[in-house]
Amino acid sequence: MVRSGARHDHDTGPAPEALRLVKVTKSYGTGDSAVTALDGVTLGLARGTFTAVMGPSGSGKSTLLQCAAGLDRPDSGIVQVDGTELTGGSEAELTKFRRGRIGFVFQQYNLLETLTVAQNTVLPLKLAGKRVDRRRAREILTAVGLGDRLGHRPDQLSGGHRQRVAIARALVTEPRVIFADEPTGALDTRSAREVLTLLRQAVRVHGRTVVMVTHDPVAASYADSVLFLADGRLAGRLPAPTAEAVAERLAHLGDDVMTGV
Ligand SMILES: Nc1ncnc2c1ncn2[C@@H]1O[C@H](COP(=O)(O)OP(=O)(O)OP(=O)(O)O)[C@@H](O)[C@H]1O
Ligand SMILES: [Mg+2]
């Protein structure tokens, strides 16, 4: 899974990966209380793939997503999204890039309660200074099954519907990469399945790249492959995951780290 030293020629080489991390390190705190959340993570994800990230609580999954999405800055290392380096630029450049190319879905939806479903959905376009088209909001909300809820407020929606709004909001700018941190963590089984199907559709139908943190082996089985994290390091990769194989791997994650697999 670690493709160290891979290079591509910009004129003749393959298209850049959707996401590339090189030796990404991130610590919190200082001195005795310092915690290394990411410890030299190197990985590459091809465009148009759906990847699940799994690992024990505190293994660095959210930190990985935040750094990869440009919501947080690593202490060292390189993050590239769609061939563009996020690390190094100014805060304003980073924000601009993030708004145009990256979508993020949170466990707790993060919708603005005072805005309608339609207004929440087009907010990223507004923030990016793009023309806001009501038809676009209707189109994208219809695609996630909420075409009849445009004027509703988030508190009138179920958790599953709220998360669908959050997905519509993440898709509205047509981002290259969508990051989702436990998007089904607060949902019942059926809503979770619907949300996972939407994420998979974004990949299969629209060619987006999705990176999703989850604790649920069934959710992970919707992905093309699973990356395992332990103690801030990559601890394995499982292609074509089944829920059973994922659960088995999780149970032995500690062993993998011990043997350096
Ligand atoms: N803002 C912060 N300040 C201090 N320590 C932090 C902060 N964010 C994360 N950490 C620490 O960094 C490590 C990795 O945290 P992270 O949230 O990335 O883990 P996680 O794998 O997402 O866990 P979970 O499954 O519980 O969400 C943990 O030890 C955590 O306590
Ligand atoms: Mg987390």
Ligand 1 pocket, residue 59 CB under 6 Å: yes
Number of domains observed in the structure of the chain = 1
188 inside domain: yes
Residue 169 lies in a domain: no
Measured distance CA(128)–CA(248) in Å, rounded: 43
**Selection from 103, 104, 72, 97 nearest residue 83 by Cα:** 97
Closest ligand 1 atom to the C-alpha of 26? 12
Tell me if 121 is assigned to some domain: no
Domain membership flag for residue 218: yes
Distance, in Å, from the CA atom of 43 to the CA atom of 187, rounded to the nearest integer, reads 30
Domain span holding position 50: 17-110+174-251
* C-alpha of residue 182 to centroid of ligand 2, in Å: 7
CA distance 41 to 187: 30
Tens-digit pLDDT profile for residues 137-194: 899 999 999 999 999 999 999 999 999 999 999 999 999 999 999 999 999 999 999 9
Q: What is the pLDDT of residue 9?
A: 44
What is the distance in A from the centroid of ligand 2 to the CA of 237? Answer: 19
Closest CA to 149 of 206, 182, 111: 111
- Name the residue of 25, 27, 32, 62 to mutate for ligand 1: max ligand atoms within 8 A of Cβ: 62
- Region 6-14 average pLDDT: 52
Predicted local distance difference test score (pLDDT) of residue 12 = 58
Question: What CATH code is carried by the domain that includes residue 86?
Answer: 3.40.50.300
Kindly state the tokens that stand for 213: 């943190």
Residue 168 lies inside a defined structural domain of this protein:
no
Residue pair 186/221 in contact by the 8 Å Cβ criterion: no
pLDDT of residue 234: 97
pLDDT in tens, 56-87: 999 999 999 999 999 999 999 999 999 999 98
SS3 content of the chain, % helix, strand, coil (to 5): 35, 25, 40
Answer whether 58 contacts ligand 1 (Cβ < 6 A).
yes
pLDDT at 16: 83
Dist. CA 58–CA 70, nearest whole Å: 20
Structure tokens belonging to residue 174: 């047509």
**Closest residue by Cα to residue 54 from 261, 248, 260:** 248
Give the predicted TM-score (pTM) of the model.
0.91
Shortest-distance Cα residue to atom 2 of ligand 1: 28
Structure tokens at 84: 């563009």
pLDDT band at residue 5, thresholds of 50, 70 and 90?
very low
To test the pocket of ligand 1, the residue of 35, 41, 253 to mutate (highest count of ligand atoms within 8 Å of its CB) is 35
Classify residue 247: in a domain, yes or no.
yes
Of all protein residues, the one whose alpha carbon is nearest to atom 29 of ligand 1 is 58
Say which residues have a Cβ less than 8 Å from residue 94's Cβ, sequence separation at least 6: 70, 86
**120 pLDDT higher than 80:** yes
Does any ligand 1 atom lie closer than 6 A to the CB of residue 28? yes
Average pLDDT over residues 50-59: 97
Do the beta carbons of residue 131 and residue 63 sit within 8 Å? Answer: no
Cβ 39 vs Cβ 14: under 8 Å: no
Any atom of ligand 1 within 6 Å of the Cβ of 63: yes
User: Strands across the sheet with 209-213, in order?
Assistant: 102-105, 177-181, 209-213, 50-54, 225-230, 233-239
Domain assignment of residue 93, yes or no: yes
Interval 223-233 mean pLDDT? 97
The answer as to whether 41 is a domain residue is yes
What pLDDT is attached to residue 100?
Answer: 87
Q: What is the pLDDT of residues 197-207, one digit of tens each?
A: 999 999 999 99
Cα(19)–Cα(161) distance, integer angstroms: 29
pLDDT interval class at 4 (50, 70, 90): very low
